[in-house]
Amino acid sequence: MNLIERPRRLRRTPTIRALVRETRLTPDDLVYPLFVCEGEGIRREVGSMPGAFNLSIDELVKEVNAARGVGVRSAILFGVPDHKDAAGTQAYAEDGITQRAIRALKREVKDTLIIADNCLCEYTDHGHCGVIEAGDVLNDPTLDLLARTAVAQAEAGADIIAPSNMMDGFVSAIREALDESGFEQIPILSYAVKYASGFYGPFREAAQSAPQFGDRRSYQMDPANAREAMREAELDYQQGADMLMVKPALPYLDIIRAVRERFDLPIAAYQVSGEYAMIKAAAKLGWIDEERVALESLTSIKRAGADIILTYYAPSLANLLA
């Protein structure tokens, strides 16, 4: 008897492939990252991120509403203030750009989760994620500023706080400050596993947040390390994170999978600016099919174990899925 295993039986038609498909993306999985700047009527495309913009608050409201229209119900905000200083004051100012943007969105957009990225690098003149002394980023003094930022964001109406700066103890510092201010119902989506990655380059152009000296390797993780990722995730879990993020996404699918298997919290992954820019650039040269590659990348990120995906493709993908 000539018995051949025939997996091709289940690949013969689009209908049967749909029947046996294991991983499906839906707009509910997606979080749309947006950059908000001062001014009015501003919609300035980021050079290295075609299709992504610096938006003034009025334009931001339109963009979030449009995304809502195609089914994207979560956005994460990054502030691009005009005024930056050594202590990142605008991050926690009551009338800082991000706080004003959150208020406007909560007022003018229905049923959309507004996630506030919690970091200082977009607000400091030196571009580092914390307070500097003698060329070093200080950990504990930075925690106080992150905590103040979280409370300011929650007071403005943020639905979720997403700390991204990788100081030790940032989740407990923020949890404590939120609870003390009566925001015990606001979840923390921790950037628990964030690598010191070259893939953030285009973001730093968008947020004008490149470090003015040195780099972020003393606080973001070494791309070579996987066991350390488990330790970082464990610490944030113990400190009370409600959700854990891995960032970047595609180069770190093994890490997404490992975090998924070890923890029962919702797991997020961030398809970062450089991942997006590479697809855009290759597509522009005609070397790849943009839609297909974007969909394949995002499907892979979900297949690896991410429940939530942050992606600049959120609205275009939602359109495609519709």
Q: Where do contacts with ligand PBG occur on this chain (CB under 6 A)?
A: 117, 119, 121, 129, 164-165, 200, 203-204, 272-273
Mark whether 62 is an active-site residue.
no
Taking the complex as a whole, how short is the minimal distance between the CB of residue 277 and ligand PBG, in angstroms? 9
Nearest to 21 by CA among 316, 314, 308, 299: 299
Nearer of residues 181 and 293 to ligand PBG, judged by Cβ:
293
Nearer of residues 119 and 301 to ligand PBG, judged by Cβ:
119
Mark whether 84 is an active-site residue.
no
Tokens of residue 250, six digits: 């595609």
Taking the complex as a whole, how short is the minimal distance between the CB of residue 3 and ligand PBG, in angstroms? 50
Which are the contacts of 172, defined by CB distance < 8 A and separation ≥ 6? 239, 240
Nearer of residues 117 and 236 to ligand PBG, judged by Cβ:
117
Taking the complex as a whole, how short is the minimal distance between the CB of residue 20 and ligand PBG, in angstroms? 34
Residue tagged active-site, from 247, 280, 284, 302: 247
Residue tagged active-site, from 62, 84, 110, 194: 194
Nearer of residues 183 and 203 to ligand PBG, judged by Cβ:
203
Taking the complex as a whole, how short is the minimal distance between the CB of residue 207 and ligand PBG, in angstroms? 7
Nearest to 90 by CA among 80, 75, 104: 80
**What sign for the dihedral angle of Cα 309, 315, 316, 319?**
positive
Nearer of residues 182 and 198 to ligand PBG, judged by Cβ:
198
Taking the complex as a whole, how short is the minimal distance between the CB of residue 166 and ligand PBG, in angstroms? 8
List, by residue number, the catalytic residues: 194, 247
